[in-house]
Chain A
Amino acid sequence: MSHGHDDPTLHPEVQMSTSRGYFLGFAISSVLMLVATFLVTSHSMPPFGLLMVISACAAIAIIAQIYFLLHIDTSEHNIWNAVALVLFMPLFLITIGLTWWMFSQLYLHTMIMPGMPAMVH
């Protein structure tokens, strides 16, 4: 009756984990975070370019973490996780995107422009 469930380390999700994968995931995200931190502290780029570069760093770090740390791929055991992630993406885009849109419109109408002297306390 109780076959297969006794040893949790035999689960396919656990079997997929390797120390190389975890190390790579950790290393990639650490390097990207250090790069972003360096760019912000050194003021070596114009604000818009800086925003773009750190956003790109964040995006790559997210992908690396999803792949190396969470092991989300299209294999038979993890397809449900991948489906959940894909279904979650639109929600992420909707909430962040519409929030950005409504607040940019709000600032337009209330004349609070980001970077205006009035906003600096």
Chain B
Amino acid sequence: MLVDLAGGWNPLVGRLAWSQIPYDNPILAPLFVAVVLGALMLLGLITYYGKWTYLWREWLTTVDHKKLGIMYIIIGLVMLFRGFIDGLMIRTQQAWAVGSQSSGVFGALHGYLTPFHFGQIYSAHGLIMILLAATPLLVGFMNIIVPIQIGARDMAYPYLNALGLWLTAAAGALIMISLFIGDFAHNGWFGYAPIFELQYSPGVGVDYWMWTLQLVALGTTLGGINILSTIIKMRAPGMTWGRLPIFVWASLSANVIALTSFPALQVALALVAADRYLGAHFFTAGLGGNLMLYTNLFWIWGHPEVYFVILPAFGMMSEIFPTFSEKPLFGYVTMVLASIAIAGVSWLVWLHHFFTMGAGPYVNSAFSVATMLVGIPTGVKVFNWAFTMYRGRLTFNAAMLWAIGALFLLLIGGLTGMMLAIPAINYMVHNSVFVVAHFHSMLMVIVYAIFASVIYWFPKVFGFKLDEFWAKTMFWLFSAGTALVFVPMYMLGFMGMTRRLDYVFNTAWQPYLLVMELGIVVYMFSVFAFFALLYVSIRDHAKNRVGADAWGTSRSLEWITHSPVPFYNFAVVPQINARDEAAWRRENGLEHIQPDHYDDIHMPNNTGVAIILGGLSFTLGFALTWRIWWLCLLSLIAIIALVIYRSFKGDPGYILTAAELEKMEQEAIRRASRIDGGHHLRPVRGDGWAQERADLPAAGTLYGLSSPMDHHK
């Protein structure tokens, strides 16, 4: 042992002990019982209905990018719910523990949470919301939509894609298990030196935090590599860079950020691990350590990361506004350049997270100007969206409402961001809840864009639309909650309330805190509305079935294939003729044209390796947290051996024959024509109408003959 550990350690179970299980905690113990009962019930139901084989074959071992994307989104939504509950607990504590007269229960002097427990909750809230809710939700959407938008059959590396998902799931499992075994970090989601050093945080909380971050960083980096390779190498014939849908451009720039910045986080955390496990002194207060170097390294990743999450959200908005304005996106080229500019500038601004470090006027001014530069490409985007809607034929359905909500929040978050970019103001409101309100506004842009996308792309993935009434109800409840929570938070920030208070000394702030509590209750109703939305939509799904072009005004390539998208995406890889291919085909009366013959296609096989590697990574993270060295070694060897085994085994894939393909396609076409009513899907050959017009390409060129699996060989 290179470091002194507080508490016991034994070679068999490391630092684990019965006393680490919080069975005496009045909040966690009932929750634990509920979770165990819920899990048993779920497992029982799966067994009762005999769904284990189905689950293993169709989901747990799948390499289909759409199913992986759906699982990413499910993980994201579950973690979003967990993060929301953390938020609810924070708001309740702050509304309760105000002034010295406030009561206290469950061992707390004021409110119902002890300071140590409260610290864990806000740390978990931040980490979960950014890395295990927003990130998986966005990666999930990129996973589902990007390959279909570029006319590919799957990702460039389907197995790597599955591995990325299961590493993210392992990270989620690790942070969830910290609820019931041991405790979580209390150093905020980004961590501070030297409080996370072993002598100040002797428990396992910081270790849970560190290894969770490492796992999610690894998973996201692998996902980023995959999406980049897919966009560069797997585009359908005719899908030139100038015709790439804008969401693909946004994903491209976002994943360039992910690929370049996540390693900085992993290095920073590896150095923290060296301090905590090997007794090194990178970030200690003495012995040559440098406290601020940690903050510096963290935000070198941390700031690019916030653009990694906002850029796909911008891409989603850029898809939704044109569809429901019935106009092409205004300023495509400037939109692309703005995305790339944001990605570039994201690397030049990280010091604005610690202006108050005291680097002096020159450094602060330079980073202040760089930060304000971000406003230029972002402003370009906002104006482009506004001009897209200007004189458009607007449809205010639920997806559009969420997207417009995102636009308003971007305005609020962006303008307060400009204020914070000024060091003089930053010094005044540093560490106040004003900052918290600002970055919540920005993250709400992402949440709004995600719910807009859930509604917008749901029919493409599942073949039926979500219920409009409940989607709109959820929108209005959510927006009311947002206003009630964050307007008072901005005001309290100006009044000087600092963040992360487990006890609020100033009773004058109580009215605002109570309004915020009301806001979070309204948020809870929007969560109920979301459950109702899912229930009602699934109940009525037969009524709400849609054809390929679910909205009738869609523009990009994903809308020309069937809804739900078959597992091979496109029976024949389409030939791309225009920037907005679906709109182009519709305007030229070509949308119902189907290929007249099919070729064999080459598809990847399912694999159980990815989920096993995910499980082993979770074991490794857990063993490292509790310092069970034999288990660390065992799981690490197993991971390496399995990776080598899979590399040598490879995957020859399998052939889907033209006959099988034709049968499935005929079925899909029959289903679609029942929904579309009068429309007839016409085969290309023998269709005179399209070929009579000289300005259109011969209809035979609408579908290329090669599949992407062939075409990159």
Binding site for B on A (CB under 8 A): 1-6, 8, 80, 88, 91, 94-95, 98-99, 101-103, 105-106, 108-110, 119, 121
- Give chain A residues whose Cβ lies under 8 Å from the Cβ of B359: 102-103, 105-106, 109
CA gap between A94 and B260 in the complex, in Å: 13
Q: Is B174 an interface residue (CB 8 A)?
A: no
Please name the 8 residue pairs, one residue from A and one from B, whose CB atoms are nearest each other, closest first: A102-B359, A105-B360, A105-B359, A106-B359, A102-B363, A105-B363, A109-B360, A4-B713
Whose C-beta in chain B lies nearest to the C-beta of A94? Answer: B347
CA gap between A108 and B264 in the complex, in Å: 26
B362 to chain A, nearest CB (A): 6
A3 to chain B, nearest CB (A): 7
Whose C-beta in chain B lies nearest to the C-beta of A88? Answer: B260
- Give chain A residues whose Cβ lies under 8 Å from the Cβ of B288: 119, 121
CA gap between A3 and B710 in the complex, in Å: 9
Are B363's CB and A5's CB within 8 A? no
Are A110's CB and B358's CB within 8 A? yes
Are B351's CB and A102's CB within 8 A? yes
Are A5's CB and B713's CB within 8 A? yes
Are A103's CB and B347's CB within 8 A? no
B654 to chain A, nearest CB (A): 10
Are A1's CB and B600's CB within 8 A? yes
Are B286's CB and A3's CB within 8 A? no
Whose C-beta in chain A lies nearest to the C-beta of B601? Answer: A1
Jot down 30 A-B pairs with beta carbons below 8 A, ordered by A.
Answer: A1-B600, A1-B710, A2-B602, A3-B713, A5-B713, A8-B650, A80-B232, A88-B260, A91-B260, A95-B264, A95-B300, A98-B348, A98-B351, A99-B300, A102-B296, A102-B363, A103-B293, A103-B296, A103-B359, A105-B362, A105-B363, A106-B292, A106-B357, A106-B359, A106-B360, A106-B363, A108-B360, A109-B359, A110-B358, A119-B288
Are A95's CB and B653's CB within 8 A? no
B301 to chain A, nearest CB (A): 10
A88 to chain B, nearest CB (A): 6
Task: Digitize B284-325: 1 where CB-to-A-CB distance is under 8 Å, 0 elsewhere.
Answer: 001110101100100010000000000000000000000000
Q: Is B652 an interface residue (CB 8 A)?
A: yes
- Give chain B residues whose Cβ lies under 8 Å from the Cβ of A99: 296, 300
Most chain B beta-carbon contacts within 10 A, residue among A80, A95, A101, A103: A95
- Give chain A residues whose Cβ lies under 8 Å from the Cβ of B360: 105-106, 108-109
A86 to chain B, nearest CB (A): 13
Are A94's CB and B652's CB within 8 A? no
- Give chain A residues whose Cβ lies under 8 Å from the Cβ of B264: 95
CA gap between A110 and B363 in the complex, in Å: 14
Q: Is B655 an interface residue (CB 8 A)?
A: yes
CA gap between A102 and B710 in the complex, in Å: 51
Chain B, interface residues (CB within 8 Å), range: 20 to 34
Q: Is the interface of A mostly helix, strand, loop or mixed?
A: helix
Are A1's CB and B292's CB within 8 A? no
Whose C-beta in chain A lies nearest to the C-beta of B602? Answer: A1
Given A91-B260, A106-B358, A121-B288, CB of A101 within 8 Å of CB of B363: yes
Whose C-beta in chain A lies nearest to the C-beta of B710? Answer: A1
CA gap between A105 and B296 in the complex, in Å: 14
CA gap between A21 and B359 in the complex, in Å: 46
Given A98-B351, A105-B359, CB of A121 within 8 Å of CB of B600: no
Task: Digitize B356-388: 1 where CB-to-A-CB distance is under 8 Å, 0 elsewhere.
Answer: 011110110000000000000000000000000
Whose C-beta in chain B lies nearest to the C-beta of A90? Answer: B347
CA gap between A19 and B374 in the complex, in Å: 48
- Give chain B residues whose Cβ lies under 8 Å from the Cβ of A8: 650
CA gap between A22 and B677 in the complex, in Å: 66
CA gap between A102 and B349 in the complex, in Å: 12
Task: Digitize B691-713: 1 where CB-to-A-CB distance is under 8 Å, 0 elsewhere.
Answer: 00000000000000000001001
Whose C-beta in chain A lies nearest to the C-beta of B713? Answer: A4
Whose C-beta in chain B lies nearest to the C-beta of A80? Answer: B232
- Give chain A residues whose Cβ lies under 8 Å from the Cβ of B358: 106, 109-110
Task: Digitize B522-537: 1 where CB-to-A-CB distance is under 8 Å, 0 elsewhere.
Answer: 0000000000000000
CA gap between A26 and B120 in the complex, in Å: 47
Are A103's CB and B292's CB within 8 A? yes
CA gap between A102 and B362 in the complex, in Å: 9
- Give chain B residues whose Cβ lies under 8 Å from the Cβ of A108: 360
- Give chain A residues whose Cβ lies under 8 Å from the Cβ of B300: 95, 99
- Give chain A residues whose Cβ lies under 8 Å from the Cβ of B710: 1
- Give chain B residues whose Cβ lies under 8 Å from the Cβ of A2: 602, 652-653
B645 to chain A, nearest CB (A): 15
CA gap between A119 and B285 in the complex, in Å: 11
CA gap between A1 and B351 in the complex, in Å: 53
